[in-house]
Amino acid sequence: MQPSQRINGVFAAALTPLNEDFSIQVEALPGLLHFLAQRGCHGALLFGTTGEGPSFSAKERLRVFQAVSTLRQDLPGFKLLAGTGTPSLDDTIQLTRAAFENGFDGVVVLPPYYFRKATDEGLYAWYQNVIQKSVPGDGVLLGYHIPSISGVSLSIDLLSRLKDAFPGQFGGLKDSSGEPDYTYQLDQRFGGELIVLTGSDGLLGQALEKHASGCITAMANLFSPLLREVWDAFHAGKPYIQVQAQLIARRDILSAYAPNASILKALLPRLHDLPAWTVRPPLLPTRPELVEKALQELAEIEC
């Protein structure tokens, strides 16, 4: 089975439950993942940007990988991806290997984001080492293209070279650039040969039209049924523009309350029956008055 057949659909960029002392509330993860599965998600990414991934040590991530490995029995069709990219090549290799050893379906790997002037040759060597030393023959590694945050772009030529060198293990990328032109370039070069999971809720329909495999988004924590409705409508050949517009309206509201992790953790217990979790510094909780304002704005578009 090709990687693109194994990893597709609507994925949540899952929040990371935290106690007030900023430790990971590991026991809350099964409940969160069951919640996402019940609301139409095909899977979830742990320790992505919305999951505050770079804020957690390798030891903390490993503990979570081990803890959720048993979920396969309860959620056999639910796909799990792990964010394993760090600026450290060795840490990235160890985390990636551990994710696969604990049954994850794939990994999403940031480039070494401190070195913003790294060349394609250097990035190729970095990913080459990660794949050769930690990705099994049936494993799938996705790059993570989020240049506005990481400062490092994954060029079309780099992706093509990695795909040619590792056709089984290098599956594609999560594209959080928010740039329609990049989506167009991916389609022109690869068609449907790469897994492309858009990180932009407002671009899901457009990305699917350009052979994307689905999405990994922050808003799936709150509004995954809408994302799933776009996905299902597209694949059934039905109109989805109105539902897409609802997603865009919600995205426009939430974008004013960045960062995503803070506002989503504030809204989740207000909109759904889940606990309130804090964020880890340097992020700070969204101020209560802003939470109320966001709730009001979201309520107005429901009318």
- 114 classed as catalytic: yes
For this structure, is 117 an active site residue? no
H-helix or E-strand containing 10? strand 9-13
Instruction: Select which of 127, 144, 182, 257 is catalytic.
Output: 144
Cis peptide before 259 (omega within 30 of 0): yes
Q: Can you give the three-state secondary structure of 26-54, one letter per residue?
A: HHHHHHHHHHHHHCCCCEEEECCCCCCHH
Residue 301 has φ and ψ, to the nearest 5°, of -80, -10
Whether 127 sits among the annotated catalytic residues: the reply is no
**At 270, phi and psi to the nearest 5?**
-80, -30
Residue 148 burial class via C-beta count within 10 angstroms: exposed 0-12, middle 13-18, buried 19 and up: exposed
Of 70, 114, 119, 184, catalytic: 114
**46, 60 Cβ separation under 8 angstroms:** no
Q: Are 108 and 216 in contact (CB under 8 A)?
A: yes
Active site residue 144: yes
Catalytic residue among 49, 92, 198, 286: 49
Q: Which of 79, 163, 174, 265 is catalytic?
A: 174
| Per-residue burial over 270-292, b = 16 or more CB atoms within 10 Å of its CB, e = otherwise | eeeebeebbbeeeeebbeeeebe
List active site positions.
Answer: 49, 114, 144, 174
